[in-house]
Chains A and B, each alone.
Chain A
Amino acid sequence: MGAEPLYLKSEVEGRKLVLAAEGDWTSAFASQIEPQILEALKKRPRVDRVDIDVSKVRRLDTIGAWLVERLRRTWEGGGAKTAIVGLDPRYQVLLDEVAASNKERAKKSPREQPLSDALESIGHAAADSLVDLQALVRFLGVVTMVAARVAVRPWNFRFTSIVHHLDRVGFRAVPIIMLIQFLIGAILAQQGIFHFSKFGAETYVVDMLGILVLRELGVLLVSVMLAGRSGSAYTAELGSMRMREEMDALRVMGFDPVEVLVLPRLIALVIALPLLTFIGSMAALLGGGIVIWLYGNMPPEIFLERLRDAISIDTFKVGLIKAPFMAAVIGLIACVEGFRVEGSAESLGEHTTASVVKAIFLVIVLDGLFAMFFAGIDM
């Protein structure tokens, strides 16, 4: 006998086996009892009758009772007659209750096959991406239809709601957008001066800064920030509304959730993103300008002069034209994902993540397409 107390003793009396259980047969000790039972079942003498003597069991709970019952069933399945003897009457109900359970054999879960499972999941992911695209296009259609309906009856337009969302995604994002763009502009300028000075081209830093910020970085960074800041919020809001049946409540009251919830959010984003892009670009130019002044020793007047030569109104327009499209992509994806949230908290997290990741990815793809388009029309 080891350090563990013995819970089950077996004794053969002719054609009869007596299994004597003792001690506390409770959940706290189940991890010790179960191996002893399995051990006892390894050597099965040929007997006709098995008595499970539980008279020395001090305490019994559901798990203990089930272990007794399982022991009994195993022998019963082996063809022996079984009986539970010496049971304290107060545990009779419990044992009866447990004996009525687990009658059906549990279904075996299919065996795992790592390789084919991995291939299967890749296949599913590929198929799902098509479904995603389809859902996005369908949603775009729905939103366009609703927008057209609202345009015909403008008095249904939810102006207050748009202002509210504009405040949240636009106005309150101004400080963080300005700060980040300011820093990016400053870093760009510093790196530019440092490396350009190796071949004496410091003055061209202004050209690089102006074109890079106004054409690409301004709008791209703001889009990425808003996808993280507002897209995720949209998905989480719509998702939890779906979980709490708020969308169904809207629907039964005769409101279209797309009109009430999606359209104001989308419009707010489409208005906010170009404005933030403009503000952000200015902040980046300011940050760059200050670094060029202090680190590159170029006075502000000359910086502005060179900037005017380097960029045209087209450079500025290229950046700003892209902004509303980026906003639409971010908003649409956020809302689509929000509508796909199912009951669980995990699903909410999953779709919020998907919303941000997909939005950032598509924003960059869109930016690439725009780059080709603008190159094509010489802008």
Chain B
Amino acid sequence: MAAAEETVIRVRDLVVGFGKVDVLKGLNLDIKRGEIMGFVGASGGGKSVLTRTIIGLLPKRKGTIEVFGKNLDELDEEERQQMERRWGVLFQQGALFSSLNVRQNIQFPLRENLHLSQRLMDEVASAKLEMVGLSADVGDKLPSELSGGMTKRAALARSLALDPEIVFLDEPTSGLDPISAGEFDDLIQALQQTLGLTVFMVTHDLDSLHTVCDRVAALADGKVIAVGTIESMIESKHPWLRAYFHGKRARSRINGGTRK
């Protein structure tokens, strides 16, 4: 890709809170172009809050967020829209529009942003569906007729509709069986290589962290306490990281050896 170590997301001193409580207390984070960044932290610790703050769904109290080198606060309406077209978001529950079928869901951002012929949109929707491992027939189904795994794939296809440079994935493998979760990991990796994506992935899935993430960032007490490869995380002495990566559930994973 372009400059090897280009930072696409730079978060500095971010403070986000609700009422009297600050959830994120001066958080710093850098994400480089083309990497898959896994983000771990306790439930309710502010992982989703960070994602939602970066994509602009939650207001922040302090700090700066730069995406592609631009401060998000300094963008005007139009630049903001341009920016939003450069990232895609996969929500935890998929957030597919329930009254549109899957094809219309994928075509929605295309229809709104570009002036493409219906034929091209249909072809692109089928191509996207096949890229995320669904058959083109799924396009005619309504979101309520999909299984959990299919919903996530369809939602991923929608988030990739405009060929974003960054995708935010909020617990992409939660609620999937281990086989589907593994396939989903492979899919994200394949797409990352195909499309040169930068992936920001909030996850609790230790397998995902081991197999697909280039780097892992750990969130505790409203701050990023460590960033690095999964191996460096496992060796860290920090008590929270030790508890996370050496707990009962994690130990079997480590003892079993990494997959690759």
Q: Which residues of A contact B (CB under 8 A)?
A: 26-28, 30-31, 34, 61-63, 66-67, 70, 90, 93-94, 97-98, 100-102, 104, 106, 243, 342-347
Cα distance, A14 to B160, chains bound together (Å): 42
> A102's contact among B115, B136, B194, by CB below 8 Å, is which?
B136
When distances are taken between beta carbons in the complex, the residues of chain B under 8 Å from A94 are: 194-195
Q: From A243, which residue of chain B is reached at the shortest CB distance?
A: B144
CB distance from B52 to the nearest CB of A (A): 21
CB distance from B131 to the nearest CB of A (A): 6
Q: From A70, which residue of chain B is reached at the shortest CB distance?
A: B123
Cα distance, A70 to B127, chains bound together (Å): 11
Q: Please state if B114 and A345 are interface contacts (CB–CB under 8 Å).
A: no
Q: Please state if B163 and A63 are interface contacts (CB–CB under 8 Å).
A: yes
Cα distance, A45 to B114, chains bound together (Å): 32
- Nearest 4 CB-CB pairs, A to B? A343-B144, A346-B99, A344-B98, A101-B130
Q: Please state if B143 and A343 are interface contacts (CB–CB under 8 Å).
A: yes
CB distance from A68 to the nearest CB of B (A): 12
Cα distance, A347 to B204, chains bound together (Å): 34
Cα distance, A4 to B215, chains bound together (Å): 43
Q: Please state if B122 and A62 are interface contacts (CB–CB under 8 Å).
A: no
- Contacts A27-B114, A34-B116, A343-B145 given: A66-B99 contact, CB under 8 Å? no
Interface residues of B in 121-147 (CB under 8 A from A): 122-124, 126-131, 136, 142-145
Q: Please state if B195 and A62 are interface contacts (CB–CB under 8 Å).
A: yes
When distances are taken between beta carbons in the complex, the residues of chain A under 8 Å from B117 are: 31, 34
Cα distance, A101 to B135, chains bound together (Å): 9
When distances are taken between beta carbons in the complex, the residues of chain A under 8 Å from B194 are: 93-94, 97
B193 within 8 A of A: yes
Cα distance, A320 to B120, chains bound together (Å): 64
Q: Please state if A34 and B120 are interface contacts (CB–CB under 8 Å).
A: yes
Cα distance, A70 to B126, chains bound together (Å): 13
When distances are taken between beta carbons in the complex, the residues of chain A under 8 Å from B123 are: 66, 70, 102, 106
Q: From B127, which residue of chain A is reached at the shortest CB distance?
A: A101
B250 within 8 A of A: no
Q: Please state if B124 and A66 are interface contacts (CB–CB under 8 Å).
A: yes
When distances are taken between beta carbons in the complex, the residues of chain B under 8 Å from A102 are: 123, 126-127, 130, 136
Interface string of B186-202 (1 = CB under 8 A from A): 00001001111000000
When distances are taken between beta carbons in the complex, the residues of chain B under 8 Å from A66 are: 120, 123-124, 127
B110 within 8 A of A: yes
Cα distance, A243 to B1, chains bound together (Å): 45
When distances are taken between beta carbons in the complex, the residues of chain A under 8 Å from B136 are: 101-102, 104, 106
Q: Please state if A28 and B114 are interface contacts (CB–CB under 8 Å).
A: yes
Give me 16 other A-B pairs in contact (C-beta within 8 A), A30-B114, A67-B120 excluded: A27-B110, A27-B113, A27-B114, A62-B163, A62-B195, A66-B120, A66-B123, A66-B127, A94-B194, A100-B130, A101-B129, A102-B126, A102-B127, A106-B126, A345-B98, A346-B98
When distances are taken between beta carbons in the complex, the residues of chain B under 8 Å from A97 are: 131, 190, 194
When distances are taken between beta carbons in the complex, the residues of chain A under 8 Å from B113 are: 27
Cα distance, A94 to B195, chains bound together (Å): 6
B225 within 8 A of A: no
When distances are taken between beta carbons in the complex, the residues of chain B under 8 Å from A93 are: 193-194
B162 within 8 A of A: yes
CB distance from B75 to the nearest CB of A (A): 18
> B128's contact among A62, A67, A104, by CB below 8 Å, is which?
A62
- Contacts A94-B195, A101-B126, A344-B98 given: A27-B162 contact, CB under 8 Å? yes
When distances are taken between beta carbons in the complex, the residues of chain B under 8 Å from A344 are: 98-99, 142-144
Q: Please state if B127 and A61 are interface contacts (CB–CB under 8 Å).
A: no
> A343's contact among B114, B116, B142, by CB below 8 Å, is which?
B142
Q: From B110, which residue of chain A is reached at the shortest CB distance?
A: A27
Cα distance, A214 to B163, chains bound together (Å): 67
15 contacts between A and B (CB under 8 A): A27-B113, A28-B114, A30-B114, A62-B128, A62-B160, A70-B123, A90-B1, A94-B194, A94-B195, A97-B131, A97-B194, A98-B127, A98-B131, A102-B136, A347-B99
Q: From B123, which residue of chain A is reached at the shortest CB distance?
A: A102
Cα distance, A26 to B46, chains bound together (Å): 36
CB distance from A281 to the nearest CB of B (A): 42
When distances are taken between beta carbons in the complex, the residues of chain B under 8 Å from A101 are: 126-127, 129-131, 136
- Which of B113, B190, B196 is most buried by chain A, counting CB atoms within 10 A of its CB? B196
Q: Please state if A31 and B114 are interface contacts (CB–CB under 8 Å).
A: yes
> B163's contact among A61, A343, A345, by CB below 8 Å, is which?
A61
Cα distance, A27 to B195, chains bound together (Å): 13
When distances are taken between beta carbons in the complex, the residues of chain A under 8 Å from B160 are: 62
Q: Please state if A62 and B99 are interface contacts (CB–CB under 8 Å).
A: no
CB distance from A165 to the nearest CB of B (A): 28
CB distance from B135 to the nearest CB of A (A): 9
Interface string of B14-48 (1 = CB under 8 A from A): 00000000000000000000000000000000000
Cα distance, A90 to B194, chains bound together (Å): 8
Cα distance, A104 to B127, chains bound together (Å): 11
Cα distance, A243 to B126, chains bound together (Å): 28
CB distance from B3 to the nearest CB of A (A): 14
